[in-house]
Amino acid sequence: MADLDPDRTTPDAVLRYAAHDEGILDVHLPPSYDAGDGGTDAAAVLFLVHGGFWRVEHDRTHTRPMARALADAGLVVVTPEYRRVGGRGDLAGGWPTTAEDVATAYDALPGLLSELGVRIGRLTALGHSAGGHLVLWLATRADEGDGPRLDRVVGLAPVGDLCAAAAERMGNGAVQGFLGGEPADVPSHYAAADPALRLDSRPRAEVVVVHGEADEHVGLANTLGLEARHPWILLTRIEGADHFDVIDPGSEAWPVVLAAARADAVV
């Protein structure tokens, strides 16, 4: 990862969206907001959902360097934590709890950001890996819910086809652990959670996918299957990029990611 000053990756604010211990989110503000120049102008907001195969071993802190880099590029970056597989008691994640947490945090954005004097203009949801799955799922859910209008979704090396990922036991059975079994065991879970199926109803938001061709964790084939089913998805393939290059501000892939995140960001 890029060698950024750890103090600069510290969020400008940590806010609560739910009562459980994981119900918090980081906010990274652009330098103008740090200086008190945000005023009442609408801001380009990026809802950043971290990955880690939905498992408790990985939390939002590993995306703080990219959140800071995106904020320095002019975006208000909001990174929710969520309950994950392997959590205990009321912190246990999996389907549907994990997705419900992300949706709750998303719906709460206008009220939470207003506490910081931020009014949402253009809103983009960007997620990496399992977080990519969650924002692709959110693309269709946002059309059904009462939350803010979602303009753009960017999946970075997303697990976008859950049935295909389960068939290859991606991540040592990560999809099965998240959804509670194989497609034949819990078909209703796959029907409700799998972007490859849900995106049969094209969402209002623009959907973009960025995937490294050298990704050995979530293979490019998963995205190619998703694109074949939904050819209106805008896919950018990055030659030589691996699974983590797309979240590293110091990588050669970063300019492509930044362009995807910032497209039409000026309100």
Q: Which tens digit of pLDDT belongs to each residue from 136-149?
A: 999 999 988 788 99
Distance (Å, rounded) from C-alpha 70 to C-alpha 11?
A: 12
- On whether the CB atoms of residues 28 and 11 are closer than 8 A, the answer is yes
| pLDDT at residue 127 tops 80 | yes
| pLDDT at residue 231 tops 80 | yes
**If pLDDT is split at 50, 70 and 90, which confidence band does 4 have?**
very low
- Annotation: CATH topology of 6-262: Rossmann fold (3.40.50)
**If pLDDT is split at 50, 70 and 90, which confidence band does 264 have?**
low
Position 144 scores a pLDDT of: 86
Position 38 scores a pLDDT of: 46
- Between the alpha carbon of residue 17 and those of residues 21, 48, 98, the distances in Å are 10, 15, 14
Q: Give every strand in the sheet of 24-28, ordered side by side.
A: 13-16, 24-28, 76-80, 42-49, 119-128, 152-156, 206-212, 234-238
Domain spans, the chain:
6-262
Task: With CA atoms as reference, report the closest residue to 80 among 145, 122, 29, 18.
Answer: 18
| pLDDT at residue 1 tops 70 | no
Alpha-carbon dihedral angle through residues 80, 133, 150, 148, given to the nearest 10 degrees:
-40
Lowest-confidence pick of 30-34, 47-51, 239-243? 30-34
Distance (Å, rounded) from C-alpha 39 to C-alpha 36?
A: 7
| Concatenated DSSP letters of 211-226 | EETT-SSS-HHHHHHH
Q: Which tens digit of pLDDT belongs to each residue from 62-91?
A: 999 999 999 999 999 999 999 999 999 999
Position 8 scores a pLDDT of: 75
Position 40 scores a pLDDT of: 58
**If pLDDT is split at 50, 70 and 90, which confidence band does 35 have?**
very low
- Between the alpha carbon of residue 79 and those of residues 28, 115, 194, 199, the distances in Å are 8, 16, 22, 24
Distance (Å, rounded) from C-alpha 72 to C-alpha 28?
A: 9
Residue 187's contacts (CB-CB under 8 Å, 6 or more residues apart) are none
